[in-house]
Structure 1
């Protein structure tokens, strides 16, 4: 169990707080899920530099190549890390016929489908920006382009830190382990992003 102070910052030996208010948006009332990402850059500093820009997007935690864990945003604040969400019932093949008729025409209209999904109560939809935490792992694509890019393998130190962090956040914030997702599972991202993440 982690100690989280009134500002949403974690006090733990394994976590270095390096908060960027530039990536924080509104109040995050309830954490329903955790989304695991890879940064697209080769260093933690490249992410930190982008986080300094006003209106930047980012996640709540970042795991460096050596396994160092940084907290970059309050767990009580929304950050824009998910993007447009997929249809959960469609992805899990659990849609009612009435839902399918609404969803099918929007399958290639990501924004419209995401808006429709976000109106659904959780857990009928995937966790979105407004009810999830994001964990970035430093790593970039090493070959290919766009959706077919291949991300570098997440190393043992990173996976060890990820496993610990996910377990602690899940326990502290009462997030089910079934609600931890790789970014491409819930949104429209490079298919291999966080593909070698283990928790």
Structure 2
């Protein structure tokens, strides 16, 4: 009869037992970390069903890569990093090429009602690309999705002042790029 694994073992010990062939240790790790992974996924997706699906994918990926866990950090830290990266990757895939349809009001404007300005020729996409991907994501989360500074702190593992500074610098870069583009016309 096979001896069951002690539920009081550390995460790192459970990983070791799994690598030695014990399958019950994965269930213990799953139960222990499900809620943390789920709520992290939910903070990205805002949909409980989608968050649950993400959790399943993350645990499948994590458990298939357990042999790569070196133990330089706690298992929970390693799992959180995998979770965070997976959620960002999923977010980018979904929103990379997502465009909103223009409302019919735009099409209904008569030519004489439209007054063009010099900023019409500025590519908003090129202006936004003047900041790093992380800054783009932070700006989108803050201003399009209404995330709080505290949520950004948790998501990007930064202090409050670092988040505020990153947002401020990104806005300044975009403003400078807009001014430059305007002057070039």
Q: TM-score, normalised by structure 1?
A: 0.24
Q: Give the number of the structure whose alpha-carbon radius of gyration is greater.
A: 2
Query: Using CA pairs below 8 Å that are at least 6 residues apart, which structure has the higher relative contact order?
Result: 1
- Greater helix share, structure number: 2
Q: Which has the higher strand share?
A: 1
Normalising to structure 2: TM-score of the pair?
0.25
